[in-house]
Amino acid sequence: MSETLSPAPLSTRLKAETAAQHQLLDNEISGRNLFGSAQGYRDFVRLQYRFHRDLDPVYRDTRLEAFIPDLQSRNRFAHITQDMKDLGLDIPRQDTPNGPDFFTRLQTETAIGWLYVAEGSKLGANILDKLAQNLGYSADFGARHLAPDPAGRGPSWLAFRNMLDDTAIDPEACIDGARDAFAHMARYLAEQ
């Protein structure tokens, strides 16, 4: 009897195929010591703002609710906007290199790859939230967007991961989306 190997779950592939990009971001953010001072933290919030402003239309895309029913409540853009106000930061001009309509025209499965990066980053936010607290910021002031989703970090991530693994999604389109999302964040970080 011949054995067929089942393909790796999509969440496993996404993690493996973007691990190097994640490591570079982690190294860069840690290397620049963005959590070492209030000024560094302001740069981090501005970076998060730019990324999540671009993703706001993706979180509002009703086509994606068939995959992620609670998508709208996962959107952190309003929290980050409030963090910007708390910190007295000016709103940066929106100049996405991909063009103004890019995020409203994403193919569904590519969009899910972008969402993987935003949703997965809430796991690392567990660490970043503690570092922000050391600087005096909290879920009530300045670090609202680093707080866990109302469902809790673990359950929120598990629900998203199960959706990735239990739904028929073209893995290549999804992984391409995730790679683009990491590259997009890296580009903004390089500009900071």
Which residue is at the shortest CB distance from ligand HEM? 120
Residue 143 as a binder of ligand HEM (CB under 6 A): the answer is: no
Residue 127 as a binder of ligand HEM (CB under 6 A): the answer is: yes
CB 162 to ligand HEM: min, Å: 13
Residue 185 as a binder of ligand HEM (CB under 6 A): the answer is: yes
Residue 9 as a binder of ligand HEM (CB under 6 A): the answer is: no
Residue 29 as a binder of ligand HEM (CB under 6 A): the answer is: yes
Residue 22 as a binder of ligand HEM (CB under 6 A): the answer is: yes
CB 175 to ligand HEM: min, Å: 12
Between CA 24 and CA 148 the distance in angstroms is: 24
Contact 25, 186 (CB under 8 A): yes
Contact 132, 142 (CB under 8 A): yes
CB 4 to ligand HEM: min, Å: 25
CB 129 to ligand HEM: min, Å: 11
Between CA 57 and CA 52 the distance in angstroms is: 9
Size of the site for ligand HEM (CB under 6 A): 16
- Which of 66, 123, 158, 183 forms a contact with ligand HEM (CB under 6 A)? 123
Give Cα 103 to chain centroid, integer Å: 14
Contact 132, 41 (CB under 8 A): yes
Instruction: Count other Cβ atoms within 10 Å, centred on residue 97.
Output: 9
Residue 13 as a binder of ligand HEM (CB under 6 A): the answer is: no
Contact 149, 126 (CB under 8 A): no
Contact 129, 142 (CB under 8 A): no
Burial of 111 (0-12, 13-18, 19+ CB in 10 A): buried
- Which of 45, 64, 120, 188 forms a contact with ligand HEM (CB under 6 A)? 120
Residue 159 as a binder of ligand HEM (CB under 6 A): the answer is: no
Place of tokens 């970080």: 189
Binding site for ligand HEM (CB under 6 A): 11, 14-15, 22, 25-26, 29-30, 116-117, 120-121, 123-124, 127, 185
